[in-house]
Amino acid sequence: MSIYVTRPFLPPKEEFLKKVSDIFDRGILTNQGPNVQEFEQTMRKFLGIEHFHYVTNGTIALQLALHALGITEGEVITTPFSYVATVSSILWERCTPVFVDIEPKNFTIDVSKIEEAITPRTKAIMPVHVFGYACDVDAIESIAKKHDLKVIYDAAHTFGSFYKGRALCSYGDISTLSFHATKLFHTIEGGGCLVQDKDVSDKLNLLRRFGHEGDSHYMLGINAKQDEFNAAMGLCNFRYLKEIIAERKKISELYNSLLIKKIERPKEQRNLEYNYAYYPVLFESENELLAAFDRLRKMDIYPRRYFYPSLNKLHYLKVKNNNPISEDISSRIACLPLFVGMKEETVKAICSRL
Ligand SMILES: *Cc1c(COP(=O)(O)O)cnc(C)c1O
């Protein structure tokens, strides 16, 4: 069987089918049904935040975040080292992304370069806790305060990570999550918004369901409501979160023991209780990466280039700037296969080919 970078976790079939059967009995499929409500309550409790909204995916979560904070034009400072949805959400909301290069240890936005990118048109900072590593949240908060900017974290990789005793996805004015099937914890498709301020939270809640309540239309909205089947998958998977993280940790440590001296890895962070969301490795050059991919392909194993290209290189951007560190890292980084149920022999085989 082919081995890809990930394989979605699936709960025992009977547990999911029981919930599906309950949905059939109730006849409620969507519009804040009982599963969605239970899922939201579960998330609030687990993440330690009052305002959490479950939405259809992590990309619309970012778009809703911008909208709920009133950012519908102007510049948004972000990182070039992320999945494309970070920047596409900014562009889709008719804002201009301004890229600030990353630091080379954990590949998050370089906070020492943020202030020089701020202009009178800057509205917000959208950093990414890439691979589940924490951005310098304290520095970002003080820069944002000083310049009166909003902070939206793309926290798509952080579910299950805790930083300084707090869920890593609970920092900033809003943090967004993705519950896509490729993520460590998923609801097939899905996303979430964690909001600090109650008024912003109420607005976001209205925005995600057409901006109206009954016959009262408050604002222009969109449909980002999640349904009962996805929530059922989330509730089933959540029961296994501890096991999922523990198994990913075990596989990551096996990789560590077989690879650590030969291949460069992100640095461990103090104060971070890591979720083992990914296993990124840095090759010495792009050619080395491609050669390793070739060797693995012969064994039907397919790591992935996360993230390539560096987003400042997207051809549809109007303004392009250089981000040498991100471009360099992007050219030679890959994530190795990591998923629940991965066999020890597979890890060993991969390491022997690297
Ligand atoms: C997966 C991901 C998204 C998008 O989430 P979807 O649920 O697939 O829309 C956004 N940002 C990052 C960093 C991601 O990895």
Q: Is residue 178 within 6 Å of ligand 1 at its C-beta?
A: yes
Q: Looking at the CA of residue 189, tell me the nearest atom of ligand 1.
A: 7
SS3 sequence of 94-147: CCEEEECCECCCCCCECHHHCHHHCCCCEEEEECECHHHCCCCHHHHHHHHHHH
- Angle, alpha carbons 45-48-49 (nearest 5°): 100
* Backbone φ, ψ for residue 159 (5° rounding): -60, 125
User: Where does 241-353 sit in CATH, by number?
Assistant: 3.90.1150.10
Q: Where in the chain is the domain with CATH 3.90.1150.10?
A: 241-353
Residue 170 has what DSSP assignment? Answer: G
| pLDDT of the residue at 290 | 97
Say which amino acid occupies 276.
Y
Report the pLDDT value the prediction gives residue 1, as an integer from 0 to 100. 86
CA pair distance 191, 219, nearest whole angstrom: 22
Q: Where in the chain is the domain with CATH 3.40.640.10?
A: 3-238
In whole angstroms, what is the distance from residue 108 CA to residue 266 CA? 11
Global pTM value:
0.97
Could you tell me if 78 and 65 are in contact, meaning their C-beta atoms sit under 8 angstroms apart?
no
Q: Are 85 and 308 in contact (CB under 8 A)?
A: no
Query: Residues with Cβ < 8 Å from 148, sequence gap 6 or more?
Result: none
The pLDDT assigned to 66 comes to 98
Termini Cα distance of the chain: 20
The pLDDT value given to residue 185:
98
Q: Which of 77, 54, 79 is nearest to 66 (CA)?
A: 77
- Residue 175 CA to ligand 1 centre (angstroms): 12
DSSP per-residue letters across 159-224: TT-EETTEEGGG-SSEEEEE--TTSSS--SS-EEEEESSHHHHHHHHHHTBTTEETTEE-S---B-
Helix, strand, coil percent values for the chain (each to nearest 5): 40, 15, 40
- Give, for ligand 1, the residue of 60, 83, 128 to mutate: max count of ligand atoms closer than 8 Å to Cβ: 83
pLDDT at 319: 84
**Residue 82 beta carbon below 6 angstroms from any ligand 1 atom:** yes
Mutation test residue for ligand 1: of 180, 186, 189, the one with most atoms within 8 Å of CB:
180
Ligand 1 pocket residue status of 57, Cβ below 6 Å: yes
pLDDT number for residue 262: 74
Cβ of 186 below 6 Å from ligand 1: no
Cβ(310)–Cβ(84) under 8 Å? no
User: What CATH fold (topology level) applies to the domain 3-238?
Assistant: Aspartate Aminotransferase; domain 2 (3.40.640)
Which is nearest to 57 in space by CA: 204, 166, 176, 149? Answer: 176
By C-alpha distance, which of 169, 171, 204, 195 is closest to 183? 169
- Residues in the chain predicted with pLDDT less than 50, given as ranges, are none
What interhelical angle do 58-68 and 84-92 show, nearest 10?
40
Q: For ligand 1, is residue 255 a contact (CB within 6 Å)?
A: no
Distance 308 CA to ligand 1 centre (A): 14
Contact status, residue 102 vs residue 80, Cβ threshold 8 Å: yes
